[in-house]
């Protein structure tokens, strides 16, 4: 059976790293989107999602969006690991394949 790896996030841009390009010249943008929800006690809880965009998607987001503005993204979640202080740490990122510049 084929699996599905798709994340859908709509929230406000909370952080934008400086844009960069790959060795082959492809634009890359790493940023985060904050979403809000309520916990069991009704308290607001913010969740921050790491997002990566490539190519024209990255260029468009850089051109039209700023911190605090809303953005809708869809894409697969990618998890990587690395060593930090002798401990294996995991980090998940959503790679944008579809987006909408929410007004």
CA–chain centroid gap for 82, Å, is 19
With tokens 């699996």, the residue in question is 3
How many domains does one find in the chain?
1
Q: Is the dihedral of CA 101, 16, 49, 53 positive or negative?
A: positive
Q: Of 93, 92, 11, 21, which is closest to residue 58 (Cα–Cα)? A: 21
Given a cut of 80, whether residue 103 has pLDDT beyond it is no
The CATH number covering residue 79 comes to 2.40.50.140
Q: Is position 28 within any domain?
A: yes
DSSP, res 19: P
Q: Is position 2 within any domain?
A: no
Residue 71: give the domain boundaries.
7-100
Given a cut of 90, whether residue 92 has pLDDT beyond it is yes
Mean pLDDT score of the chain: 94
Q: Is position 73 within any domain?
A: yes
Residue 81 structure tokens: 């690991």
Q: Is position 33 within any domain?
A: yes
With tokens 């944008």, the residue in question is 96
| pLDDT classification of 18: cutoffs 50, 70, 90 | confident
Full-model pTM: 0.86
Q: Assess contact for 19 and 58: CB atoms under 8 A.
A: yes
Q: Is position 80 within any domain?
A: yes
Q: Is position 24 within any domain?
A: yes
Q: Is position 1 within any domain?
A: no
């Amino acid at each position: 059976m084929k699996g599905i790896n798709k994340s859908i996030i709509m929230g406000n841009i909370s952080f934008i790293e400086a844009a960069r390009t790959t060795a082959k010249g492809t634009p890359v943008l790493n940023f985060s989107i904050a979403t809000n929800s309520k916990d069991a006690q009704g308290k607001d809880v913010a969740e921050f999602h790491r997002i990566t965009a490539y190519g024209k998607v990255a260029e468009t987001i850089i051109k039209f969006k700023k911190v605090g503005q809303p953005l809708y993204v869809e894409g697969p979640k990618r998890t990587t690991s690395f060593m930090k202080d002798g401990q294996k740490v995991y980090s998940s990122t959503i790679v944008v394949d579809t987006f909408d510049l929410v007004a």
